[in-house]
Structure 1
Amino acid sequence: MSRSNVSLKEKIAIINASEENHLSARALAKRFKIGKTQAAHIVKNKEDIRAKWIDGNNSQSKRSFMKVDGKKIDELCYEWLCRARSQNVPISGPITLVYKEKYPK
Protein backbone atom coordinates (compact mmCIF):
# COMPACT_ATOMS: atom_id res chain seq x y z
CA MET A 1 0.00 0.00 0.00
CA SER A 2 1.37 3.41 -0.90
CA ARG A 3 1.64 6.20 1.61
CA SER A 4 -1.24 8.64 1.60
CA ASN A 5 -1.94 11.82 3.51
CA VAL A 6 -5.46 12.02 4.82
CA SER A 7 -7.16 15.39 5.26
CA LEU A 8 -8.92 16.38 8.47
CA LYS A 9 -12.29 15.93 6.75
CA GLU A 10 -11.35 12.39 5.70
CA LYS A 11 -10.15 11.60 9.23
CA ILE A 12 -13.53 12.63 10.61
CA ALA A 13 -15.22 10.36 8.05
CA ILE A 14 -12.96 7.47 9.14
CA ILE A 15 -13.78 8.08 12.82
CA ASN A 16 -17.51 8.24 12.10
CA ALA A 17 -17.37 5.03 10.06
CA SER A 18 -15.46 3.35 12.86
CA GLU A 19 -18.05 4.29 15.46
CA GLU A 20 -21.19 3.76 13.38
CA ASN A 21 -20.19 0.42 11.87
CA HIS A 22 -17.81 -0.83 14.58
CA LEU A 23 -15.13 -1.49 11.97
CA SER A 24 -11.65 -2.74 12.75
CA ALA A 25 -8.52 -0.89 11.69
CA ARG A 26 -8.03 -3.44 8.91
CA ALA A 27 -11.58 -2.91 7.58
CA LEU A 28 -11.20 0.88 7.76
CA ALA A 29 -7.89 0.67 5.92
CA LYS A 30 -9.44 -1.36 3.15
CA ARG A 31 -12.53 0.85 2.88
CA PHE A 32 -10.63 4.16 2.79
CA LYS A 33 -7.56 2.82 0.93
CA ILE A 34 -5.08 3.76 3.64
CA GLY A 35 -2.64 1.77 5.74
CA LYS A 36 -3.83 -0.31 8.68
CA THR A 37 -1.47 1.48 11.06
CA GLN A 38 -2.68 4.86 9.85
CA ALA A 39 -6.32 3.83 10.39
CA ALA A 40 -5.51 2.60 13.90
CA HIS A 41 -3.67 5.84 14.68
CA ILE A 42 -6.63 7.94 13.53
CA VAL A 43 -9.08 5.97 15.69
CA LYS A 44 -6.68 6.10 18.66
CA ASN A 45 -6.35 9.91 18.41
CA LYS A 46 -9.99 10.61 17.59
CA GLU A 47 -10.44 13.09 20.48
CA ASP A 48 -7.55 15.28 19.28
CA ILE A 49 -8.81 15.08 15.70
CA ARG A 50 -12.33 16.04 16.75
CA ALA A 51 -10.96 18.96 18.79
CA LYS A 52 -9.19 20.27 15.68
CA TRP A 53 -12.41 19.84 13.69
CA ILE A 54 -14.47 21.72 16.31
CA ASP A 55 -11.85 24.50 16.51
CA GLY A 56 -12.47 25.10 12.84
CA ASN A 57 -9.10 24.05 11.45
CA ASN A 58 -8.84 23.82 7.69
CA SER A 59 -10.70 20.66 6.73
CA GLN A 60 -8.56 20.22 3.62
CA SER A 61 -5.25 20.37 5.51
CA LYS A 62 -3.39 17.12 5.52
CA ARG A 63 -0.71 17.85 8.08
CA SER A 64 -0.06 20.14 10.97
CA PHE A 65 3.53 21.28 10.64
CA MET A 66 3.59 23.96 13.31
CA LYS A 67 4.62 22.57 16.67
CA VAL A 68 4.59 24.45 19.99
CA ASP A 69 8.24 25.51 19.61
CA GLY A 70 7.58 26.87 16.13
CA LYS A 71 4.66 28.93 17.37
CA LYS A 72 6.79 30.37 20.16
CA ILE A 73 9.49 31.37 17.66
CA ASP A 74 6.86 33.04 15.49
CA GLU A 75 5.54 34.99 18.47
CA LEU A 76 9.03 36.15 19.47
CA CYS A 77 9.85 37.23 15.91
CA TYR A 78 6.59 39.14 15.67
CA GLU A 79 7.25 40.91 18.98
CA TRP A 80 10.74 41.85 17.77
CA LEU A 81 9.34 43.12 14.47
CA CYS A 82 6.76 45.27 16.27
CA ARG A 83 9.42 46.79 18.56
CA ALA A 84 11.73 47.51 15.62
CA ARG A 85 8.95 49.07 13.53
CA SER A 86 7.80 51.25 16.44
CA GLN A 87 11.36 52.62 16.69
CA ASN A 88 11.46 53.30 12.92
CA VAL A 89 14.30 50.83 12.39
CA PRO A 90 14.53 49.75 8.74
CA ILE A 91 13.89 46.03 8.50
CA SER A 92 16.05 44.54 5.78
CA GLY A 93 19.10 42.34 5.29
CA PRO A 94 21.97 42.70 7.75
CA ILE A 95 20.18 45.28 9.87
CA THR A 96 18.30 42.47 11.58
CA LEU A 97 21.55 41.06 12.99
CA VAL A 98 22.83 44.49 14.03
CA TYR A 99 19.55 45.39 15.69
CA LYS A 100 19.48 42.10 17.57
CA GLU A 101 22.96 42.74 19.00
CA LYS A 102 22.34 46.43 19.73
CA TYR A 103 18.92 46.00 21.34
CA PRO A 104 18.80 42.67 23.15
CA LYS A 105 15.58 41.76 24.84
Structure 2
Amino acid sequence: MKKHLSQRKKILQLQFGIGKTTVSDILKRSGEYKTIYEDNTTSARKRHDTGSKYGELNDLVFQWFKQARAKNIPLSGPIIQEKALELAETLDLTDFKASNGWLESWR
Protein backbone atom coordinates (compact mmCIF):
# COMPACT_ATOMS: atom_id res chain seq x y z
CA MET A 1 0.00 0.00 0.00
CA LYS A 2 2.78 2.41 0.94
CA LYS A 3 4.62 1.69 -2.33
CA HIS A 4 1.43 2.39 -4.31
CA LEU A 5 0.96 5.73 -2.52
CA SER A 6 4.60 6.63 -3.15
CA GLN A 7 4.17 5.93 -6.87
CA ARG A 8 1.00 8.00 -6.95
CA LYS A 9 2.81 10.92 -5.33
CA LYS A 10 5.67 10.64 -7.82
CA ILE A 11 3.23 10.68 -10.75
CA LEU A 12 1.50 13.78 -9.34
CA GLN A 13 4.86 15.51 -8.80
CA LEU A 14 5.84 14.96 -12.42
CA GLN A 15 2.39 15.71 -13.85
CA PHE A 16 2.02 19.07 -12.09
CA GLY A 17 5.66 20.02 -11.62
CA ILE A 18 5.40 20.34 -7.85
CA GLY A 19 7.44 19.07 -4.92
CA LYS A 20 6.92 15.95 -2.82
CA THR A 21 5.91 17.95 0.25
CA THR A 22 3.32 19.91 -1.72
CA VAL A 23 1.79 16.69 -3.05
CA SER A 24 1.66 15.25 0.47
CA ASP A 25 0.02 18.39 1.86
CA ILE A 26 -2.61 18.43 -0.89
CA LEU A 27 -3.41 14.74 -0.41
CA LYS A 28 -3.71 15.18 3.37
CA ARG A 29 -6.19 18.05 2.89
CA SER A 30 -8.09 16.53 -0.05
CA GLY A 31 -11.24 15.95 2.02
CA GLU A 32 -11.22 19.57 3.14
CA TYR A 33 -10.74 20.76 -0.45
CA LYS A 34 -13.62 18.57 -1.67
CA THR A 35 -15.94 20.01 0.98
CA ILE A 36 -14.99 23.58 0.04
CA TYR A 37 -15.54 22.82 -3.65
CA GLU A 38 -18.94 21.20 -3.06
CA ASP A 39 -20.07 24.13 -0.91
CA ASN A 40 -19.16 26.59 -3.68
CA THR A 41 -20.60 24.90 -6.76
CA THR A 42 -23.39 26.75 -8.50
CA SER A 43 -25.88 23.97 -7.87
CA ALA A 44 -25.36 24.42 -4.13
CA ARG A 45 -25.77 28.18 -4.20
CA LYS A 46 -29.13 29.63 -3.36
CA ARG A 47 -30.45 32.73 -5.05
CA HIS A 48 -32.37 34.94 -2.69
CA ASP A 49 -35.58 36.54 -3.81
CA THR A 50 -35.13 40.24 -3.19
CA GLY A 51 -38.87 40.82 -3.26
CA SER A 52 -38.72 41.83 -6.90
CA LYS A 53 -41.95 41.53 -8.82
CA TYR A 54 -39.87 39.54 -11.31
CA GLY A 55 -38.69 36.98 -8.76
CA GLU A 56 -40.13 34.02 -10.68
CA LEU A 57 -38.57 35.27 -13.91
CA ASN A 58 -35.22 35.78 -12.20
CA ASP A 59 -35.32 32.21 -10.91
CA LEU A 60 -36.17 30.85 -14.37
CA VAL A 61 -33.35 32.83 -15.97
CA PHE A 62 -30.97 31.49 -13.34
CA GLN A 63 -32.06 27.88 -14.00
CA TRP A 64 -31.49 28.40 -17.72
CA PHE A 65 -28.13 30.06 -16.97
CA LYS A 66 -26.97 27.07 -14.91
CA GLN A 67 -27.98 24.63 -17.65
CA ALA A 68 -26.20 26.66 -20.34
CA ARG A 69 -23.03 26.94 -18.26
CA ALA A 70 -23.10 23.19 -17.57
CA LYS A 71 -23.05 22.70 -21.36
CA ASN A 72 -20.14 25.19 -21.67
CA ILE A 73 -22.27 27.56 -23.74
CA PRO A 74 -20.66 31.01 -23.74
CA LEU A 75 -23.02 33.62 -22.32
CA SER A 76 -22.93 37.39 -22.42
CA GLY A 77 -25.16 40.11 -21.02
CA PRO A 78 -27.14 40.55 -24.25
CA ILE A 79 -27.73 36.79 -24.53
CA ILE A 80 -29.03 36.67 -20.94
CA GLN A 81 -31.24 39.69 -21.61
CA GLU A 82 -32.68 38.08 -24.75
CA LYS A 83 -33.49 34.87 -22.88
CA ALA A 84 -35.08 36.90 -20.07
CA LEU A 85 -37.34 38.63 -22.62
CA GLU A 86 -38.37 35.24 -24.05
CA LEU A 87 -39.16 33.87 -20.60
CA ALA A 88 -41.01 37.05 -19.61
CA GLU A 89 -43.24 36.62 -22.64
CA THR A 90 -44.12 33.07 -21.60
CA LEU A 91 -45.00 34.40 -18.12
CA ASP A 92 -47.14 37.21 -19.64
CA LEU A 93 -44.95 39.90 -18.08
CA THR A 94 -45.78 42.54 -20.67
CA ASP A 95 -44.18 45.40 -18.72
CA PHE A 96 -40.79 43.67 -18.32
CA LYS A 97 -37.79 45.32 -19.93
CA ALA A 98 -34.52 43.42 -19.84
CA SER A 99 -32.61 46.60 -19.17
CA ASN A 100 -28.96 46.88 -18.21
CA GLY A 101 -30.18 47.78 -14.71
CA TRP A 102 -32.20 44.57 -14.52
CA LEU A 103 -29.18 42.59 -15.71
CA GLU A 104 -26.90 44.12 -13.07
CA SER A 105 -29.48 43.43 -10.37
CA TRP A 106 -29.93 39.86 -11.60
CA ARG A 107 -26.19 39.22 -11.57
Q: Fold-level match, TM-score > 0.5? A: no
Task: Give me the TM-score of the superposition, normalised by structure 1.
Answer: 0.30
Structure with more of its chain in helix, by fraction: 2
Q: Which has the higher contact order (CA 8 A, sep 6+)?
A: 1
